[in-house]
Structure 1
Amino acid sequence: MKKTIGILSIVIVPIILFQSMIVGAANTLSNDSTAVDGSAGVLLAVCLLVSGILVLASKKSRGTLITAIVFYTLGGLIGLAGAGIYRDLVIWSVISLIFATLLLVFQIIKPKRNKLDHK
């Protein structure tokens, strides 16, 4: 499950970056100086990329996985807070938060499963 989440995160980063650049350009052309949709999308994409790499690199390192969970959560919250006309950003942010939740559940259940295997 960890590898799947890491790979999916890295695969969706170019899509989010492309959409964010288009939204940022549209915000610039419309002279809307209060819109931060494009920037929030880029930050979410960076958080997803970092998280995906960390998840793939964390073999048995609990600290690396927790850092990835923090980045997924941070990216999701930034995306939700910055979503304006860029409604797809809400979808990507929710996906990031789902990934964080799945990894957190995996991290909590994994030690219990290992204890049961040793009995």
Structure 2
Amino acid sequence: MKTTKLVVGILMIVVAFFISIQSVMAGMSEAYINSNGHAGVAGLIVALLYLASGIVYIATRGKNGFGPDIASMVMLLVAWILGLVNAGIYKDLIIWSWIAFIIGIVFFAWNKLEDSKK
């Protein structure tokens, strides 16, 4: 599980970079067409939550307990809700939101399953 958390944490940080670039572009296009959407700002917040969760996974990959997994799960569930509600013209945000949901739930369930085996 240590290696998996390291790899997923690094991938989440890289994905956060791509989400932030897409969010800036979505925000600029929203401003250009004078829409009242919030997809650009929501995407930046989702990117920050991805970044924070990736850092938590990397920093706590060797620790036992549910604290880091609960914190990451909460951040990723917030990213999931925020992305789904505010996608607007930025339809990729829906995909990033569902990926956040899957990662948060899977790591928590995996840690819970390993704890129950002990």
**Alignment TM-score, normalising by the size of structure 2:** 0.90
Q: Which runs of 5+ in 1 are unaligned?
A: none
**Number of residues of Structure 1 aligned to a counterpart in Structure 2:** 113
Q: Deviations over 1:45-75 (max 9, x none)?
A: 0000000101111121431221111111111
Q: Deviations over 1:52-100 (max 9, x none)?
A: 1011111214312211111111111111111011110101111111111
Aligned to 2:15: 12
- The alignment-based identity, stated in percent, is 34
Q: Does 2:29 correspond to 1:26?
A: yes
For 2:21, the aligned partner's letter is F
Rg (Cα) greater in structure: 1
Q: Distance in 1 between matches of 2:98 and 2:54?
A: 16
4+ aligned runs moved over 6 Å, structure 1: none
Q: Which runs of 5+ in 2 are unaligned?
A: none
Q: Distance in 2 between matches of 1:106 and 1:53?
A: 19
**Alignment TM-score, normalising by the size of structure 1:** 0.89
Aligned to 1:89: 93
RMSD of aligned alpha carbons:
1.1
Aligned to 2:116: 112
